[in-house]
Structure 1
Amino acid sequence: MTPIKLERGSTLVLATHNAGKLAEFAKLLADFGIKVISAGELNLPEPEETATTFAGNAAIKALAAAKAANLPALADDSGLCVAALDGAPGIYSARWAGPNKDFASAMARIEDGIGQGKRNAWFMCVLCLALPDGRTESFEGRIDGQIVWPPRGTQGHGYDPIFAPEGETRTFAEMADAEKNAISHRARAFEAFKNACLS
């Protein structure tokens, strides 16, 4: 199968209603002459994420947006996996924070669950590029590290205050955005996507 290529001047739908994520990807793709619009801007419905893997959920979102907009679409699914919790919260990372996005209680739930267990954890990101004809390609990024307690730092979002990547004493939330974005799971998935699909 030949990889899907996005040419300069293409329009790409980012399958998200999150303005922060749109800004991040628009910046990353500007260098390649790709115009990015979000599913939110197009008022596309958010599909139900019913898969049991990051790759499955990314594909559901990318295919729904590609077919609805009749344009190539990119979706990401990501989350924090904790070894002592058998990989949880994993694909349920956002859901653990509940409808009010209460990550403080989600982080406390992780700490309570680990107890005296091993503190190894990793962030995973899968990017899926889909075409309206149903073709998809997926790209994975992972960064390993440790859960720290109590939470530290005010940058970033989600579980960043309790995750220190390997070789670092600081958490993601104690790093400047540019520093975190250079090594993050999303950066690694984007690098793989860029090498395969962008000219």
Structure 2
Amino acid sequence: MQIVFATNNKNKIKEVQSLVPEHIKLLSLEDIGCHEEIPETTGTIEGNAQQKANYVKDNYGYDCFADDTGLEVEALNGEPGVDTAYYAGPQRNPDDNMNKLLSNLKNATSRSAQFKTVIALHLNGELKTFTGICKGEITTEKQGYKGFGYDPIFKAKDYTKTFAEISLEEKNKIGHRGKAVSQLIEFLNQF
């Protein structure tokens, strides 16, 4: 089975391909000739994932899944949330985003946060969603060099290391994307 993962983020593709069964081959947007920026304008994580999956199906005809992920920080009323990738501006720079978040939390008494991933699957004319949540906290400084995005400043609940300090395998077991992908795989294994 071939299915499009509506992203060109090579880190995400690598992370998810390592989780799906061997009989499922993931295609990226580049693989299907989609080079335009897919709109993410719904204002919610769920809506953006669905919008991207619908876009690929409607414009390219492929069954596909798309994800959207947000980091929701309790002390900041859920920020950066749906704007996680653009938190510090349109340049989508992870260091700028982390620096802004750490600055905004410098006087916070609570550093509780959660990562939330929603996967929208467009398959056989139906749209299904799967949600994974990883609760944890924001550290006071960057730690580690693995992973991507906010990984150097996020520690999962009951863990002493950030996502950037643990292996990809460990992150997939406890992380938001791994949880959502597990639900997706369980569903796809029916086919």
Q: Tell me the TM-score normalised to structure 1 length.
A: 0.87
Tell me if structure 2 keeps the 8 A contact 1:46–1:61: no
Partner of 1:34: 24
Aligned length: 188
Percent identity of equivalent pairs: 35
Structure 2 residue 40 is matched with structure 1 residue 43: no
Partner of 2:113: 121
Q: Which amino acid aligns with 2:177?
A: R
Tell me if structure 2 keeps the 8 A contact 1:15–1:38: yes
Partner of 1:52: 43
Partner of 1:104: 95
Instruction: State the alpha-carbon separation in 1 of the partners of residues 105 and 11 from structure 2.
Output: 30
Report the 3-state secondary structure (helix = DSSP H, G, I; strand = E; otherwise coil) of the residue aligned with 2:99: helix
Tell me if structure 1 keeps the 8 A contact 2:118–2:130: yes
Tell me by how many angstroms 1:97 deviates: 4.5
Q: Deviations over 1:94-134 (max 9, x none)?
A: 1124444422221121122223321100000001101474x
Any unmatched runs of 5+ in structure 1? 1-9
Q: Deviations over 1:56-103 (max 9, x none)?
A: 000011111122232210101002111111101111111124444422
Q: Which amino acid aligns with 2:115?
A: F
Tell me if structure 2 keeps the 8 A contact 1:67–1:131: no
Any unmatched runs of 5+ in structure 2? none
Structure 2 residue 73 is matched with structure 1 residue 82: yes
Partner of 1:192: 183
Tell me if structure 2 keeps the 8 A contact 1:63–1:132: no
Partner of 1:18: 9
Q: Which runs of 4+ in 1 moved over 4 A?
A: none
Partner of 1:3: none
Structure 2 residue 59 is matched with structure 1 residue 68: yes
Instruction: State the alpha-carbon separation in 2 of the partners of residues 168 and 24 from structure 1.
Output: 20
Q: Deviations over 1:115-168 (max 9, x none)?
A: 3321100000001101474x2100000000011111111111111111111001
- Taking only aligned residues, the RMSD between alpha carbons, in angstroms, comes to 1.6
Tell me if structure 1 keeps the 8 A contact 2:154–2:163: yes
Tell me if structure 1 keeps the 8 A contact 2:121–2:129: yes
Structure 2 residue 147 is matched with structure 1 residue 156: yes
Q: Which amino acid aligns with 1:21?
A: K
Partner of 1:136: 127
Instruction: State the alpha-carbon separation in 2 of the partners of residues 132 and 49 from structure 1.
Output: 23
Instruction: State the alpha-carbon separation in 2 of the partners of residues 76 and 93 from structure 1.
Output: 13
Partner of 1:180: 171
